[in-house]
Each structure stands twice: as structure tokens, then as C-alpha cells.
Amino acid sequence: MKARVVIVGSYVQDLAFYVEAFPGPGDCVLAELRPGAGGKGFNQAVAATRAGAPTLFVGAIGQDSAGAHAREFARRNGVQTEFILKKKEPTGAASIAVNHAGQNQIMVALGANLALHVRDLPVRPLAAADVVLCQAESDMKTAAHVLRVARRHGAVTVFNPAPMHPGVDLAILRHVEVLIPNEAEFVSLVNRSPRSGVKNFTVEALHRLAPDRLHTLCRSFNVPIVIVTLGARGCFVSQPDVYARVQAHEVDPVDTAGAGDAFVGGFAAGLVKFNKNIIEAVHFANAVAALAVTQHGTAPAMPTAREIARFLRRRDHA
């Protein structure tokens, strides 16, 4: 089946530690360990696949047990993959702490993900895809190349600048049609952009912004569509001539790790499902994220198309 969504990015083996409260400096606390498949790119690919969009994930893994687990998880869950084997690099790994409120703290060692190079990429799927998505958890020159090639072939190019770090060159935005940062990432982009006209911007300042002013800041990136995810407060969608605030669904979260990935992967699937209607895709993505945070883990927590449809039917009749 042709992949209508192609996601190039990271695979990471998650080691999730569930604790009552996060330890302070020098503290030691007891935890429950739950290992699992993860990585922003792979999480998003699982989310898009389970949401019903034919999706291909392209990423790098090491020749180790974590890499073998990646292949097995993809096979069991029907995720189309093109894993590039890097024999001299370990598979990426993440340490995730989750407290009783479902909040998380994450440390990532990217390993093989940083060795994914332009020469590793499959050309034909990129040229044929409807939607192509990258993040900032792999080599940024490779991500820029992917988005440039995809846009040249007419795909909707989506960039999720997560995790935000100094290696994210804002020049990549010239190849991006849809930019999806969270609050902290958006603040960093504003502070780094010479076009924004704003310095020392903060998340608190973001929360105080009037919608028209937030729209103006989004327009300063010269990206057609900017979607700022705001956690439990939903998201803000800025298009060239219009903006909208889309509310999140109220749920009781048990684990918010992977929520952003669920939204981004769900959005990519929504673009396919709703014929590139941005607002419909955002509503769909909100449902995917809401369901994901009610389950433990990242990739394993992504909901199926049937679960999403049932959830949205219940909300429509509430």
C-alpha cells in the first residue's frame, strides 16, 4: 500500500519510571519500570498508522536488542518501516520519569538517530507522499533535505521542532508548510527569530497574549500554517488570513509523555482523512492526544481509528 504519510525521524527505546513524586537533587525514590518503544518520529508514525493513514516511518537503529525490539514492535503493530541499521551506533534511548499526576521529565540519548544521513533516505516514497513530517530528534541537515525534497514534489511538509535545541537552524522553515511547536518551543522560536521583533519572551507572556497578537507572532515565521499546542488549553491555529483557538478535550491523564507526538501524528493522519482541511485535522489530532494520555507509555499508548471514532461520537452527543 502506498504510504500517504512519510515520517522521517527518531526511534528511541523508552525506559519509563513511574513514581509518586519526582526525586529532588540527591534523592532516591522507588519506581515501577515499564520499557517500551518510543522516539518522536516513531511515536508519530504509530499514531498516524493507528489513526488510519497509510504511513511509512524512516529512521535509524543500532545492531542491538533495542533495535531488534523496534523491528518486532513495528511488525506486531502493522507499522510500515524502513529502518536504517547503524552497526557502529547504539539505538537511541530515553529515561522517562512520570509522577502521580501524569507529568513527565525526559532525558534522551539519540545514538543512531544522529547518524541518519541523506544517502540513507528512500527517494520514491518521499516523492509520492501526500504528507511528509520531520522533527528535531535526528540529524537536522537530513531533516531539511527531506522537507525540501517533499515540498518540491507537492507534499504538505510538517515540522515539529521538538526537542528544541541549538542545532535547529531556523533556515529549515523555508521548506515547511505546517509548523507545530508546543509552548516552550514556540517561545524559543520567537526569541531566536529576528523577524519576531520580540526579546526575552516567556511562556507566561505567551499565556497573556491577545489572539490577534499571537497571530501576528505566528505570521513572523513566514510559514503558511503555525499550530501552537498548549497542553490542556488546546491549541492555536494561525493561517495566512485567519486564526482560531481549538479547545482540548477534558480527560483524566495518567501519562502525558508522548502527548505532543500523538497530536502531531494524529494531525498528519487527519490531513489525509479530511482532504487537507487544517481545522478538521486539528480537531482529530486533539482527540488522538486526549486518548493517548489516558494510557501508559508513548508508542503503545496511541489510539486506534475505532477508539478515536467512538471517542468523538461520545463527545458529539455529550
Bridge partners, 244 (sequence order): 237
Structural domains of the chain, count:
1
- Cα–Cα distance for residue pair 125/10, rounded to 1 Å: 18
Using pLDDT thresholds of 50, 70 and 90, give the confidence band for residue 101. confident
Q: Residues 242-246: contacts with CB within 8 Å, 24+ apart?
A: 243/211, 243/212, 243/214, 243/215, 243/218, 244/279, 245/211, 246/279, 246/282, 246/283, 246/286
Whole domain around residue 129: which residue ranges?
5-11+40-89+114-316
257 is in an annotated binding site: yes
Q: Is residue 96 part of a domain?
A: no
- In a domain? residue 104: no
The number of residues making up the chain comes to 318
Is 94 inside a domain boundary?
no
- Cell reading at 197: 521583533
Give the pLDDT confidence of 27-84 residue by residue, as tens digits: 999 999 988 899 999 999 999 999 999 999 999 999 999 999 999 999 999 999 999 9
pLDDT computed for residue 317 by the predictor: 54
Q: Is 212 a catalytic residue?
A: no
Crossing angle of helices 40-50 and 259-273, in 10° steps, is: 40
- Flag whether 98 is in a domain: no
Give domain status of residue 246, yes or no.
Answer: yes
Opening angle at CA 244, ends 310 and 156, nearest 5: 75
The pLDDT confidence band at residue 102, using thresholds 50, 70 and 90, is: confident
Q: pLDDT tens for residues 284-296?
A: 999 999 999 999 8
**Three cell numbers written together for 92:** 537511541
Higher-confidence position of 176 and 298: 176
In a domain, 31, yes or no: no
Residue of 27, 120, 261, 316 marked active site:
261
- pLDDT by residue (tens digit) across 169-218? 999 999 999 999 999 999 999 999 988 888 899 999 999 999 999 999 99
Annotated ligand binding at 20? The verdict is no
Is 239 annotated as contributing to ligand binding?
no
Answer yes or no: is 59 a known binding residue. no
Write the CATH number for 297. Answer: 3.40.1190.20
Domain-located, residue 203: yes
Whether 318 has a pLDDT exceeding 90, the answer reads: no
The answer to whether 17 is a known ligand-binding residue is: no
- Do the domain assignments include residue 268? yes
pLDDT in tens, 254-277: 888 889 999 999 999 999 999 999
